[in-house]
Amino acid sequence: GQSLEQPSEVTAVEGAIVQINCTYQTSGFYGLSWYQQHDGGAPTFLSYNALDGLEETGRFSSFLSRSDSYGYLLLQELQMKDSASYFCAVRSYSGGYQKVTFGTGTKLQVIP
């Protein structure tokens, strides 16, 4: 089966940098996505990595190491509005169909 592990909570200071890690175990791995969800809101897509390396989108970057089954989301210049839950999700092929499995989420609290 598939499993993903990410920390349940992270606290960081406004203006700082925070890294949210995600390790996974899966067969037929295809890529790793990250989603952001504010309390009471819908998840929104942030980034996707299919190849090893770093993808940068503004203040957010995402990294993937396929050999280590590991990825992370890096948030720079933290703002109070970045307080939210962040989910990693593994895309894989299983039984002829593409499958997406979400992690349990990391609740990020940004403090002044």
- For other proteins, the binding residues (CB under 8 A) are 8, 31, 33, 35, 41-45, 48, 50, 87, 89, 91, 97-105
Q: What is the dihedral of CA 48, 28, 90, 9, to 10 degrees?
A: -130
Token output for 84: 């939210």
Min dist. Cβ of residue 42 to other proteins (A) = 4
Min dist. Cβ of residue 103 to other proteins (A): 6
Of 25 and 44, nearer to other proteins (C-beta) is 44
3-state helix, strand, coil split of the chain in percent (to 5) is 5, 65, 35
The residue among 31 and 83 lying less far from other proteins, judged by its C-beta, is: 31
